[in-house]
Structure 1
Amino acid sequence: MDLSNKVAVVTGSGQGLGLAYAKDLARHGAAVVINDVNATAADAAVAEIAAAGGRAVPVVAPVGSTETAQALVTAAVEAFGRLDVMVTNAGILRDKVLWKMSDDDFDAVVGVHLRGTFTCVREAVLRFREQGDGGRIICIGSPAGQRGNFGQTNYSGAKAGIVGMVRTWALELQRAGITANAVCPVAVTAMTETLPIFAPFIDEAKRTGTLPPVIRREVGMGDPHDAAGIVTFLASDEAKDVTGQAFSVGGDRLALWSHPQLTATAFHDGGFGADDIAAEWPTTFGEALESVGEKFPEEVVAK
């Protein structure tokens, strides 16, 4: 797969998943704008890509504001002449249960994930439309946004919002040849290492160098580089007709998330009053309720 004619911005790419995406894009020929709030991490990422024969420049700035989004697009154009791919990966966590979550906890996470995705994509699309030959929007979501996760009101809400925006953008941008997709990765990173359910397996992987099959296949969780291939594919010409989709990726598993669909339907002439709903409930809706949260194999839960 040849991306030598592509220029990509990857936000939050100084380490972890973002760095894996940037390195894989560069390995396939794309020039990359590295973004991070940590100058040392950004410079190290650029140096690593350059040492492998790739092309990269750093932009050190927090994602969220229009000014940062404009700086990222400007860096791509000034360094490499154009922009073809925007990967919105930057993120932070401020995990707390609802009744302990402050306004600042909520605003900080939503500002980086949701507003940061919006501002970066908007600036990228303005450039794409000016260039007139399409583009690729790849937004990083999360299983937490698809199914919810305890203690992550802010994060789950932002990630769900990202997938909602992607579906809207797929509609709005199709005529301009611009695709918009979401990737919901699961990988061993600084973020996931804090989750107690995965701690024994991550500790074991640090000793042995590998995660067990139940984690890589059943949970779909692996190293950051396991999640990079789908980003590179979506950035390529091979994916020119793929838009409005949400992918699950991690470990040895790649899957598509379904879009929300009506799963149980009833009709009542004149509409439904509360008593009508109560009468209909056992036969139509009671057995059709959806589960919430991720469901892990018993082998994982028991450990």
Structure 2
Amino acid sequence: MHLEDKVAVVTGSGRGLGLAYAKELARHGAAVIVNDVDQSTADAAVAEIVAAGGRAAALAGAVGSTETAERLVAAAVEQFGRLDVMVTNAGILRDKVLWKMTDEDFDAVINVHMRGTFTCVRAAVQRFREQGDGGRIIAIGSPAGQRGNFGQTNYSGAKAGIVGMVRTWAMELERAGITANAVCPVAVTAMTETVPLFAPHIEEMKRTGTLPDVMRREVGMGTPEDAAGLIAFLASDAAAGITGQAFSVGGDRLALWSHPKLTATAYHRGGFGADEVAERWPADFADSVESVGEEFPAELTAKA
């Protein structure tokens, strides 16, 4: 992967997955705008990248607003002359079950994840189109947006919306040579350490330095660095023909999520009233009902 002529913005890249993405892009030669809500955290990330021989600059600010999005794009142009890659990684959690989730809990997560993705991508695309030589959109989703997750109405909704936007952007941007893809990573971070199912295995990793195979292969969970290679690939010229896809990455596993599709179909002349639905349901639909939530190996759930 040769990214020496590329300039990237990575939102939420002061720590965790975002920092791993920024470091990997820089390792392959890209110049990176590091973004975090905290200036000292962003500065420390830049110092780490520069110390390793990379090129980076910091811009602090909470994503969500058009102002922050435009400042990020402007920083890339002012510091490094152009923009080629936008990675929308910034995120927060406000987990609560539906009946306890407040308007503020919902709005805060939607603003950072979904609106922040929208505003940053819009600003980046405006620059890409002005430059006239394509670009890369890499929007960070989550398995929670694909399958749902208990206590995450706001987060699951935002992440599902991000994948939906990516599919639309892939169609809208194709003629301009701009690709748009979603990446749904699973890694040991401050966010996942709070998940009871994962907690004992993460504690084991802290003691031994490794995760068990059931986590790395079956769950597809590893370190942030395990997910970063895909970001560098999608930013590169090698990925010019890949767009509109949703990837799953983590640990020892790389996979593609399917697009939603019809799984069972029936027809009734004149349409379906309630009685016709009830009559057809057992034979035509009951066996095709989809599960919800992520499905984990029995070996993992037995230890939880």
Task: Give the TM-score normalised by structure 1.
Answer: 1.00
SS in 2 for 1:92: coil
Shift of 1:38: 1.2
Give the aligned partner of residue 86 of structure 2: 86
Give the aligned partner of residue 44 of structure 1: 44
* 1:67-113 Cα deviation digits (max 9, x unpaired): 00000000000000000000000000000000000000000000000
Give the aligned partner of residue 18 of structure 2: 18
Give the aligned partner of residue 145 of structure 1: 145
* 1:197-246 Cα deviation digits (max 9, x unpaired): 00000000000000000000000000000000111100000000000000
Give the aligned partner of residue 181 of structure 2: 181
Q: Whole-Å Cα distance in 2 between the matches of residues 33 and 277 of structure 1?
A: 54
What is the one-letter code of the residue matched to 1:51? A
Q: RMSD of the alignment, in Å? A: 0.4
* 1:123-166 Cα deviation digits (max 9, x unpaired): 00000000000000000000000000000000000000000000
Q: Whole-Å Cα distance in 1 between the matches of residues 188 and 40 of structure 2?
A: 22
Alignment of 1:79-228 (within 5 A): 79-228=79-228
Q: Whole-Å Cα distance in 1 between the matches of residues 302 and 40 of structure 2?
A: 40
* 1:237-295 Cα deviation digits (max 9, x unpaired): 00000000000000000000000000000011111111111111111100100000001
* 1:1-40 Cα deviation digits (max 9, x unpaired): 1100000000000000000000000000000000001111
What is the one-letter code of the residue matched to 2:258? S
Q: Whole-Å Cα distance in 2 between the matches of residues 17 and 38 of structure 1?
A: 16
Q: Whole-Å Cα distance in 1 between the matches of residues 78 and 144 of structure 2?
A: 37
SS in 1 for 2:139: strand
What is the one-letter code of the residue matched to 1:31? A
Q: Whole-Å Cα distance in 1 between the matches of residues 198 and 187 of structure 2?
A: 11
Q: Percent identity?
A: 79
Give the aligned partner of residue 229 of structure 1: 229
What is the one-letter code of the residue matched to 1:8? A
Shift of 1:177: 0.2
Q: Whole-Å Cα distance in 2 between the matches of residues 123 and 196 of structure 1?
A: 38
Q: Give 4+ residue runs of structure 1 displaced > 3 Å after superposition.
A: none
Give the aligned partner of residue 300 of structure 1: 300
Shift of 1:41: 1.1
Task: Give the TM-score normalised by structure 2.
Answer: 0.99
Could you list the runs of 5+ residues in structure 1 that have no partner in the other structure?
Answer: none
* 1:19-67 Cα deviation digits (max 9, x unpaired): 0000000000000000001111101100000001000000000000000
The number of aligned residues is 303
Q: Whole-Å Cα distance in 2 between the matches of residues 202 and 40 of structure 1?
A: 27
Shift of 1:299: 1.1
Q: Whole-Å Cα distance in 2 between the matches of residues 25 and 283 of structure 1?
A: 52
